[in-house]
Amino acid sequence: MDQLSLFGHVAAAFADAPPEGIATAHLYEAVASAAGIGADQASARIPVGAAGALHSPFKRAVRWHQQTLKSMGIVERVADRAGFWKLTQPVTKELDRAADGVRLVAFSTTLGMAVWARHEDVFRGLSEPIALCVTSPPYPLRQARAYGNPTEAQYVDFLCEALEPIVAGLVPGGSIVLNVSNDIFEPRSPARSLYIERLTLALHDRLGLSLMGRVPWVNYSKPPGPTRWACVEHVQLTSAYEPVLWFTNDPACVRADNRQILQAHTERHQRLIAAGGETRNAVYGDGAYRIRQSAFGNQTAGRLPRNVIERGHSCSDTRAYRRAAQALGLPTHGAMQPTDIPDFFTRFLSQPGDLVVDPFGGTIRTGLAAERLGRRWIATEWILQYARGAAELFRQFDGFQMHPAMQWATQPKRQ
């Protein structure tokens, strides 16, 4: 039997065990029964090691998977019952959160890896130079999503602490790109929170980052909101964008090249080029802007992009992820970013072979964009089920491997 299937049987045995736990001897029996292994085969012993001591390969494999679950923070010894093990407490009935110190490479490709871990347990020990961080951290919502989030009062400290080790590892001119929420309001008020302004100042004052741009992600398919202030009280406009903040540690040598994100010329501009450019001379704005004959007539590779991204939230990668999560019986992530957003900034702010990171991986869209663009990548995600679902988006890439422990994510949770 392959190790992936055996791990699944071990994980299922713990999922089906009573709340008080399961004895190791009963664990062997449950796994052998589920795997169709007879008692004689399960107990058969062979010489192992230089000393030739007799051991059961089946029981050794079960114990190895048991210890893997222990290292993940999913199972633990029962304090007052020798030889008994039980599940630790999950973050919710459906989601398992990485415990402190747990660092498990959930899946990897030749170019990158998704790590099931708290971000601080990975990036504080990372010595590899980072060219770019593109991330969408959890928003400071009053009604938290399933994966949890800091409060508005905690947000600035939370994000500065998360980004500090990443900023410390940035190459000169490296960038930090943050997709944050525009829809945070003062308590019981239609006035918008100033948390983004406080965050921007803190990232400058505490971490030495310079603000390079505020790029609105305009999404006209967003549902009408904020519900109370726009739809009930009618005192606010409905939201159609989210801010994307771009910072660098050194604007004098920022590693950005807008030629990497050129867009197609409009039909009007193409006609203008074909005609040899402008046929008029004109002056506007008291001389601030001039049009000369033959201007805009040169053939170029494309037009420079504006500092606005117009993109709906629907995405083929999101649809593929949802299908995979549903097929695996996994809960889906409640706030998914289309891959176009990290793709845009990865092309703009990095080069092939650079390291791109994301401390709040979610469904690992930054990793997916980096993989497709030939960048190396590391993403951390602390909810096991989200990392497992995201793995399905990477199966076609070179070197894909998934840790057998990810089988745990698909096991039913005891209520």
> Which pLDDT belongs to residue 128?
94
Domain boundaries, the chain: 3-87, 103-253+315-410
**Mean pLDDT, range 248-255, rounded to an integer:** 98
* pLDDT over 80 (residue 116): yes
Q: Is the pLDDT of residue 91 over 60?
A: no
**70 or 248, which is more confident?**
248
- The token pair at 267 is 């039909």
Residue (of 92, 187, 200, 78) closest to 146 by Cα position: 92
Report how far residue 31's alpha carbon sits from residue 38's, in angstroms, rounded to the nearest whole number: 11
Top-confidence range, 269-278, 329-338, 401-410: 329-338
- Location of structure tokens 């347990």: 121
Q: Looking at residue 4, what is its pLDDT? A: 59
| pLDDT for residue 79 | 82
Task: Write phi, then psi, for 414 (nearest 5 degrees).
Answer: -70, 130
Quick: pLDDT tens for 77-86: 888 788 888 8
What's the pLDDT band for 100 if we cut at 50, 70, 90?
A: confident
Q: List CB contacts of 233: < 8 A, sequence separation 6 or more.
A: 190
Asked if pLDDT for residue 347 goes beyond 80, the answer is yes
Tokens (6 digits) for 149 = 């989030």
Give 255-295 pLDDT, tens digit per residue: 999 999 998 888 887 887 788 887 888 888 777 778 887 77
Angle at which helices 365-372 and 340-349 cross, to 10°:
50
Does pLDDT of 90 surpass 80?
no
The CA distance from 181 to 87, in Å, is 36
What per-residue confidence (pLDDT) applies to 413? 60
Q: Which fold has domain 103-253+315-410?
A: Rossmann fold (3.40.50)
Position 122 confidence tier, pLDDT thresholds 50, 70, 90: very high
Q: Which of 352, 388, 384 is nearest to 370 (CA)?
A: 352
How many residues in the chain? 415
pLDDT of residue 306: 94
Longest dimension (CA), the chain: 95
- pLDDT at res. 260: 95
- Residue 1 pLDDT > 60, yes or no? no
Of the pLDDT bands very low, low, confident and very high (cuts 50, 70, 90), residue 366 is very high
pLDDT digit string (tens) for 132-189?
999 999 999 887 777 778 899 999 999 999 999 999 999 999 999 999 999 999 999 9
Q: What is the mean pLDDT of residues 112-141?
A: 94
Task: Give the Cα separation of 9 and 32 in Å (integer).
Answer: 8
How confident is the model over 2-12, as pLDDT tens digits?
Answer: 665 777 778 77
**In this predicted structure, what is the pLDDT of residue 203?**
98
Share in percent of the chain as helix, strand, coil (round to 5): 35, 20, 45
Q: Are strands 75-77 and 53-55 parallel, antiparallel or unpaired?
A: unpaired
- Asked if the model's pLDDT at residue 411 lies above 90, the reply is no
In the prediction, which pLDDT does 330 show? Answer: 93
What average pLDDT is seen over the chain? Answer: 89
Higher pLDDT, 245 or 43: 245
- Tens-digit pLDDT profile for residues 196-239: 999 999 999 999 999 999 999 999 988 888 889 999 999 999 99
Specify which residues 246 forms β-bridges with.
177, 213
Helices vs strands, H then E, count in the chain? 12, 17
